[in-house]
Chains A and B, each alone.
Chain A
């Protein structure tokens, strides 16, 4: 088939049933039409550049046109060759990583020493002041200062504020983006600076592991298990792996404890309404982690609600997701129990509000 002949090509496409092959030819047709309107010189340049792509497309079409048997026969040798080449590449990567391991350990030790030194210089304690300090350290690209501040905020359970301030949701995706975009930035682990950039990236991911571990310890499951290790190297976990780790950890916790101690950050995350302006507020979303927990313990939680033994802040946020709770499979009685519980916990001793107001001044 001559690809310059657009009419023929259109005829061919019409004759093909819907499917991959037709889609591929459609792309070829679009390209051919684009070429027709281009000046000759540009066409030649494009053609040269796209030789490889055309070859690849033709190879794809060739394989698609084969019967199953033909395909298996054709690919036997190719598969073995591809596996061999991939393995060799893996071996080289492993060797490189084995060589770099002691350097990574040393870099991490240095990071921790610098961070500990910085921590001693920080006198701020209130969230607002700490966030201001964080801004300054980020402007100075001072990773040790950033690490020290982040840990103080994380221990105070305020990572949500950090992420929301920079425009990210307070979930694992937001956390990964924060560390990648704000802390690592444009430092590709390839090309001339691959080595330096890998060392820096690994230092940041090691810090991310610390922050994420604090979140796991606080039952802030939406921020837990954000990174993991593949061999010697830290990398950010995919969502399904993060969720598997969360479920693994949650299953170890007694449901009674989970009912009482899991706060909103176990069930969902906040998305900021405006980047850089915490005062604009944030909206709470029920997360996949939350759905897993509710699917696991929902029925038991309902009993705890009727005994007034459920985390009040969690009850407050969950009460707004009646439909989603139903989608998880929780009965209507769960949402009713939430409402009843929230009504009942409004009762408190006379002076409570006055004392609370005084102590939060």
Chain B
């Protein structure tokens, strides 16, 4: 579909796209727009002179955004014709764009040639920089870019000028006295920019790239002749982020491990539904199902089934009740004996519902009966304890299972 550049809707659309590329420094988009507008403008696609002016300005703006991709002569032409447009682009960093082009230029003498060329281009720029005129060599002249540069050169000379001298010129020159704050800022920018074009890339002050030097364990950043130490505050912020990153990574790891894999969780959920259908919330039926799930010698247990039934019992607050039944309390006694904890038998008899005995029962059921390892049984154990905590046990079971950070596994205390 061919586009009608004379249509007001097209103008609005192009303005919107250019505004976006300019506001957000979208170099790629700016390149596309520049090529597109240039091609169509030179093909005579825009009829009305007023519209041509609008498109020309939009073209210049996107060229400023895409400046590092332009050739030397195209850049020089842009600066010679449109330098003052940069003041209409919020926060536009002309030297930053030029610098990018310079860094991409391999040879240092080519860089110097480019700087000289753009210096010459703005020396020839006839755009108005200030509203009022200036006195140049005793004669009234327009406040154009080239006239301001000529005045500064007459006052300060054409060689390199120190920043202090520039500041004095801005304060003391008769021409600058009438300037508004905004205009003074523009003249200041112009003069400083012009000075940069005089410095060779083969001088220390003309080195465009930032180089990081490592000196005695410290970091120094070197840019355009100035060395700056990267301070402790910055290093501390980085160290803090590293530490926070590690903590959050560990938390993520524990959480991910705790959640288990999705397929397994789905199977447990399905099993829970089946068991609930059969047992219908009857504790005795559930206890029977659990007891019958313990496999005989040489037979493998259904781990999912164990996890599901224990979860239901936990949800219904009936895990502890299992210990009132001889068949389950026997398991705890057997567990305590085999784990070299016979001294705890008396304690168990006195207070069978104590947290450590619930833990012993769960360990027997999950590890010895269901055949889970320490890590897997610990993970399920922690889930059951968390359910019990939510159901009113508070922190009774806290710490009975923990996450071993070194081995990255759940473990029973």
Using C-beta atoms within 8 Å of the partner chain, give the interface range for chain B: 35 or more
Contacts of A240 in B (CB 8 A): 235, 238-239, 242
Whole-angstrom distance between the alpha carbons of A243 and B236 in the complex? 11
**What is the chain B residue whose CB lies nearest that of A225?**
B212
CB-based contact A351/B213 at 8 Å: no
Tell me whether A254 is interfacial, beta carbon within 8 Å: yes
A246-258: CB near B (< 8 Å → 1, else 0) gives 0111010010110
Tell me whether A101 is interfacial, beta carbon within 8 Å: no
Whole-angstrom distance between the alpha carbons of A241 and B229 in the complex? 12
Contacts of A311 in B (CB 8 A): 24
B32 CB contact (under 8 Å) in A147, A227, A327, A359: A359
Contacts of B36 in A (CB 8 A): 358-359
Number of interface residues of A (CB under 8 A): 66
B38-54: CB near A (< 8 Å → 1, else 0) gives 00000000000000000
CB-based contact B27/A254 at 8 Å: no
Tell me whether B383 is interfacial, beta carbon within 8 Å: no
Tell me whether A302 is interfacial, beta carbon within 8 Å: no
**What is the chain A residue whose CB lies nearest that of B214?**
A230
Q: Which of A176-192 contact B (CB under 8 A)?
A: none
CB-based contact A358/B3 at 8 Å: yes
Tell me whether B68 is interfacial, beta carbon within 8 Å: yes
**What is the chain B residue whose CB lies nearest that of A250?**
B234
CB-based contact B241/A217 at 8 Å: no
Contacts of A288 in B (CB 8 A): 241-242, 245
Tell me whether A354 is interfacial, beta carbon within 8 Å: yes
Contacts of B14 in A (CB 8 A): 355
Whole-angstrom distance between the alpha carbons of A136 and B68 in the complex? 25
CB-based contact A245/B209 at 8 Å: no
**Chain A interface, DSSP helix/strand/loop, else mixed:** helix
Contacts of B327 in A (CB 8 A): none
B9 CB contact (under 8 Å) in A115, A237, A350, A360: A350
The segment out of A8-16, A77-85, A208-216 that lies at the interface is: A208-216
Contacts of B100 in A (CB 8 A): 155, 214, 217-218
CB-based contact B25/A261 at 8 Å: yes
CB-based contact B106/A355 at 8 Å: no
Interface centre among B69, B234, B238 (most CB of A within 10 A): B238
Tell me whether A204 is interfacial, beta carbon within 8 Å: no
Tell me whether B204 is interfacial, beta carbon within 8 Å: no
Whole-angstrom distance between the alpha carbons of A269 and B267 in the complex? 37
B364-382: CB near A (< 8 Å → 1, else 0) gives 0000000000000000000
**What is the chain A residue whose CB lies nearest that of B23?**
A260
CB-based contact A352/B17 at 8 Å: yes
Residues of A with Cβ closer than 8 Å to B?
111-113, 115-116, 119, 147-148, 151-152, 154-157, 209-210, 213-214, 216-219, 225, 227-230, 235, 237, 240-241, 243-245, 247-249, 251, 254, 256-257, 260-261, 263, 288, 291-292, 295-296, 309, 311-313, 327-328, 348-352, 354-356, 358-360
Given contacts A244-B235, A358-B1, 7 further A-B contacts (CB under 8 A): A116-B110, A155-B68, A155-B69, A213-B103, A241-B219, A248-B230, A355-B13
Top-5 shortest CB links A-B = A228-B212, A359-B36, A351-B13, A213-B209, A115-B106
Could you give 24 example pairs across A and B, Cβ below 8 Å? A116-B110, A152-B104, A155-B100, A210-B106, A217-B103, A218-B100, A228-B212, A228-B214, A229-B212, A240-B235, A247-B234, A247-B237, A248-B221, A248-B234, A261-B25, A261-B91, A263-B26, A292-B238, A295-B241, A350-B12, A354-B1, A355-B17, A356-B17, A359-B33
